[in-house]
Every structure is written in C-alpha cells, then in structure tokens.
Amino acid sequence: MKDVRITRDKKGLGHFGAERAVRKAVRAAMRAEGVNVPFEVDVVFTDDEGIREINSAQRGIDRPTDVLSFPLNELTPGAFDAGECDIDPETGAVMLGDMVISLPRCQAQGEEYGNGFTREISYLAVHSSLHLLGYDHVDEGEDKKLMRSREEAVMELLGMGYAKEKNDGDN
C-alpha cells in the first residue's frame, strides 16, 4: 500500500484536481528514490494564513511559504533504508512524514513562473518528498545541487521537465 493521505484544513481552497497531481508526484519521487515498500505520507492543503501559522509555530518564522516538510525519520539522501524508518503498526507501512502546501501560493507561483498550477504543485510535492527522504538545501553547496538534480530527474519522469522555480529553501 502506497498511501498519500490528503486533507484540507479550510473550506473554499478550490483546486480539486490538486489531490491527483500530488499523489502522482509523491509516488514518482518515491519510485525514483528506491522506496519499494508500502509507505505513508500525509499532506495538508491550506492557505497562506494556515501555512504561516504552522511555519511560525514549528519553525519560528512568522511568514507564509509555499510548502513545509516534516520528515519522521533521519535518512541519508539517495540511500533509502526502510529499516531506519518508523513503521505504522496497523498497516506495516513506512511512515515518512508530513507536508503542508499553500494552494493560493502554489497558484500564484505557477502563474508568476508561467508553469501553471499543476506543474507547480507537482514540483512542490516532489520537493517536499525529497525532504522526507533526507535531502536538504540549507546552503548553496553540494547538498543543494544534489537535491535540485533529483528534483529535475523526478520532474522528467512525470513528463514535466525543467522549468523556472523560486523555491528558496523555506521548508
């Protein structure tokens, strides 16, 4: 079972096709990274105010962002090992963590960069999935280059190729 559970924390967010795009992107990222066991990822769709509140409470940064990632495990990028992960005792699935996506921010960025909503939300889901698997981009060095190359590879698998991105490391 590869489970991507998606909830909306507010009514009126729209973008009802977002669920399908996110599930497809998360599953593609997991396949590309060798996650060949049942896994669980929880996704929350919210607005800018909702993600600002979470960003402030969890990270002490009182501003909205596009996506937040909360990994449950400390994994080595590019070396997925299910034995290093927490397992859901009810399902036996590897629990990877949570992501929060601001749908209005995603819409605005898709328009700003000319990528469109579906590509933007797919990118954010891939980006966040890689964080759940241990990738990071805190500095401009090799870690960031590795993460960007994996993002591009997964986006290619999705048939979405390279496009302009702004993600500046808020998550």
Where are the domains positioned within the chain? Answer: 2-157
Phi-psi region of 14 (alpha: psi -120 to 50; beta: other; left: phi over 0): left
Q: Would you place residue 30 in the very low, low, confident or very high pLDDT band (cuts 50, 70, 90)?
A: very high
Q: What is the mean pLDDT of residues 19-34?
A: 97
Return the pLDDT at 161.
77
Return the pLDDT at 167.
47
Beta bridge partners of 70: 98
Question: Helices in the chain by DSSP H: which ranges?
Answer: 18-32, 48-59, 103-113, 117-132, 142-157
- And the tokens for 56? 């402030």
Q: What is the CATH number of domain 2-157?
A: 3.40.390.30
- And the tokens for 59? 């990270």
Q: Would you place residue 1 in the very low, low, confident or very high pLDDT band (cuts 50, 70, 90)?
A: low
CA 150 – CA 138 distance, rounded (Å): 16
- Tens digits of per-residue pLDDT, 108-167? 999 999 999 999 999 999 999 999 999 998 777 888 899 999 999 999 999 997 655 554
* One-letter identity of residue 34: G
Q: What angle do CA 21, 25, 29 make, to 5 degrees?
A: 175
Return the pLDDT at 66.
97
Q: Which residue has the tokens 């501003």?
A: 63
Return the pLDDT at 168.
43
Whole-prediction pTM: 0.91
Beta bridge partners of 44: 7, 100
Return the pLDDT at 148.
92
